[in-house]
Structure 1
Amino acid sequence: MLLTEEELREQVIKLEGWKLEESTLVRKYMFSQFMKGIAFVDEVATISEAFDHHPYITIDYKAVILRLTSHEAGGITALDVREAHEFNEAYDKSR
């Protein structure tokens, strides 16, 4: 079920580093080394498989950009928000 505009605003405030872009949650993670970013992407893949919900991933040297949306629902759902929190926790552990 899609989150309302009000719910989205409330949730994005709680999601450190995430922003809204055209019905998509987006965050850019920065790493000190290329391989640390790659290790983070491996963790993102593991989390995504557990959720059976997969983000768009862009790797640009030391930057990893994640984009979350629920296509079948037509926008952002509570699942996207929960997964974004998990990605933030993985990032905090990887530094």
Structure 2
Amino acid sequence: MQFTEEELREQISKLEGWKLEQEVVVRKYMFNEYMKGIAFVDEVAAISEAFDHHPHITIDYKTVILRLSAKEESGLGALDFRQAHEFNEAFEKNR
């Protein structure tokens, strides 16, 4: 299900740290150790496989940036926000 602009704003307000940039939701995660960020990326990969929906991942030393988009679905939808929520839970376990 694709969200309207208003629904997107409502959904993003429920997700800590995420922001909407055009048709992509983005979050920057900061870690105090490089290997904690790498462990987080491993968990993100497992979550992504389970969803069969994969984010763009940027690793910059102790910073991991995730970007979710649903170009093949013509817009962001519920799947993206459920997945972002799971990424946030994984972050809490890996900080």
* TM-score above 0.5, yes or no: yes
Q: Which residue of 1 aligns with 2:85?
A: 85
1:1-95 correspondence to structure 2 within 5 Å: 1-95=1-95
Q: Which runs of 5+ in 2 are unaligned?
A: none
Local SS of the residue matching 1:72 = helix
Equivalent residue letter for 1:86: E
* AA matched with 2:37: G
Deviation at 1:6, TM superposition (A): 1.1
Q: How many residues align?
A: 95
Q: Distance in 1 between matches of 2:36 and 2:20?
A: 26
The percent of aligned pairs where both chains have the same amino acid is: 73
TM-score norm. by structure 2 comes to 0.97
Runs of 4+ in 1 over 4 A off after TM superposition: none
User: 5+ residue gaps in structure 1?
Assistant: none
- Normalised by the size of structure 1, how large is the TM-score? 0.97
RMSD of equivalent CA atoms: 0.7
SS in 1 for 2:58: strand
